[in-house]
A and B are shown apart, each in its own frame.
Chain A
């Protein structure tokens, strides 16, 4: 096995909230390998976005801060880099597609200008050269009439087109690593298919790695090679794709898989009871214990650690 492209080690990101300090990401460790598509799944608020923003060095401080751990990329710890050093990496060799396209596309600038800006900044291109590269980037993501589109403002595009522009922007500098946060959640399924295929093709073309954040297990099954499952700020399980779907080890992963309705199957669902706990009010012991049908005394007393197990990681007292 080759060394991972990106290594997240014991990462903790905390936020000061009116109710107290929360650890939105708590002691997360993950590797992203060359050519991999690593999916990070979990329900709303489990820390997926905070994890990706932490890697990108984009946690708003205050109220947030990376309070422990490392993000190792090309033998350096990104957490320790200054904002200036981080800016050189961000958008260049490490890039992100954000969950809400409209918050990251500036509504008052034309598409062409926004893509060109990145190129001038990172690649030192001139205006003409940047415009040409922008056309190429739009072509790459399958936007018809790219020349004409450069003159459009973000609101003049459909949702699917906007998402393509976002991806084009993230990819103009040919990053080694792309983090895509719910890139298809707001889109219709037929458009979602187009975008997922696009991301996969581009990953191959650029010989890069993709970290895909999603809450949709169907999307995971379609494109991922590895999966990390998050619950209440922690990674509870990670494994190659076939292991997660065929032999999920963590009771939460099992519960998630039993909760998804499947096409053409009308059998009753077997959902996880109860709700996700608030980060300010976490149960003692394993965070999943109040909802877990396997919980025993130890689970209610002591928190299990994330342990390695034959190419997988698991955080559960059933697997010691």
Chain B
């Protein structure tokens, strides 16, 4: 059996906010509100959801950049906070959305990529230099690019640099938060292929976060659908596409514009916006927009249950 590299249980992160100008009462934004997940070694878990659903907060919790209020994160058999920051940085890396702000503009590419190798003294100067050049080639850049600065590269090339930095220490897990969202389609496809081929070669796991279901279903082994801080459904990418169970997933799949004029869905459209995570609806967070909502949906929160093997859904219909 494939072992889990990361397990999270009932993770919560609530941010305090003051509600209204004159009110002194404090409420909270329930950004992540009870999420449980596991990620297997060498696999990609896709995390999809609309803006404000808590994806990026979850990413920051997973990387240890931010602390959860509740719940546990187990990474390679230990609590995440039992690993020191230095240990963590060799095993767990990140790639962010914005290839412009995530690289220090005053640092040369070579020094950006070699930073963690230098911190961990993972070799002599020439060994590190050789490794930098090797990494540059692996991500589709040229060895002599190490002398350049980030502004000399296009968005796609910068994302390649960020990937080279992330894989430098052979991490076990890379958290990718919207890594291709800022890129044009032709470049996006190049970076997706690169992420896939690197995983094939080195066997690390990815958490791949995106609002784009086509991209997520393309790159992921398993896909988790998030709504208002909670998971609605998890299944293998194929299963989720063929047999979506949650009404929200069904609507999301239907809303994705497919680049084929003959394959336009029935165009099921839900009205309204996502409610505020400050005062999420009672019961199932999706019930005010759900075409199939029943009485119980506004009263009791459905639990994430396994229906068929490996397919979990949080919905009273099941």
> Which residues in A have their C-beta under 8 angstroms from that of B263?
221
Q: Are the C-beta atoms of A188 and B51 separated by less than 8 Å?
A: yes
Q: A188-B211, A189-B252, A190-B270 are in contact. Are A269 and B192 (CB under 8 A)?
A: yes
Q: Are the C-beta atoms of B196 and A268 separated by less than 8 Å?
A: yes
Q: Quote the shortest CB–CB distance from B52 to chain A (angstroms).
A: 9
Q: A188-B274, A189-B252 are in contact. Are A197 and B258 (CB under 8 A)?
A: no
- Which of B211, B215, B257, B270 has a CB less than 8 Å from the CB of A222? B257
Within 8 A of A (CB), among B271-287: 271, 273-274
> Which residues in B have their C-beta under 8 angstroms from that of A220?
259
Confirm or deny: B38 has a beta carbon within 8 angstroms of a beta carbon on chain A: no
Confirm or deny: A72 has a beta carbon within 8 angstroms of a beta carbon on chain B: no
Q: Size band of the B side of the interface?
A: 35 or more
Q: Size band of the A side of the interface?
A: 35 or more
Within 8 A of A (CB), among B114-128: none
- Which of B192, B237, B258, B271 has a CB less than 8 Å from the CB of A218? B258
Q: Are the C-beta atoms of B237 and A266 separated by less than 8 Å?
A: yes
Confirm or deny: A293 has a beta carbon within 8 angstroms of a beta carbon on chain B: no
Q: Are the C-beta atoms of A265 and B218 separated by less than 8 Å?
A: yes
Confirm or deny: B299 has a beta carbon within 8 angstroms of a beta carbon on chain A: no
| A-B CB pair tally, cutoff 8 Å | 130
Q: Which of B188, B217, B218, B254 is the most central at the interface, judged by chain A CB atoms within 10 Å of its CB? A: B218
> Which residues in B have their C-beta under 8 angstroms from that of A221?
257-261, 263-264
Q: Are the C-beta atoms of A197 and B267 separated by less than 8 Å?
A: yes
> Which residues in B have their C-beta under 8 angstroms from that of A171?
none
Q: Are the C-beta atoms of A261 and B273 separated by less than 8 Å?
A: no
Q: Which of A158, A220, A255, A264 is the most central at the interface, judged by chain B CB atoms within 10 Å of its CB? A: A264
Confirm or deny: A216 has a beta carbon within 8 angstroms of a beta carbon on chain B: yes
Q: Are the C-beta atoms of B215 and A192 separated by less than 8 Å?
A: no
- Which of B189, B217, B252 has a CB less than 8 Å from the CB of A260? B189
Confirm or deny: A281 has a beta carbon within 8 angstroms of a beta carbon on chain B: no
Confirm or deny: A279 has a beta carbon within 8 angstroms of a beta carbon on chain B: no
Chain A residue at minimum C-beta to C-beta distance from B240 = A264
Q: A158-B273, A190-B50 are in contact. Are A261 and B257 (CB under 8 A)?
A: no
> Which residues in A have their C-beta under 8 angstroms from that of B256?
189, 218, 263
Q: State A241–B263 Cα separation when bound (angstroms).
A: 13
Q: Are the C-beta atoms of A261 and B215 separated by less than 8 Å?
A: yes
Interface residues of B (CB under 8 A from A): 50-51, 154, 156-157, 184-190, 192-193, 196, 211, 213-215, 217-219, 237-238, 241-242, 251-264, 267, 269-271, 273-274
Interface residues of A (CB under 8 A from B): 43-44, 142, 158-161, 188-194, 196-197, 215-222, 241-242, 245, 255-266, 268-273, 275-276
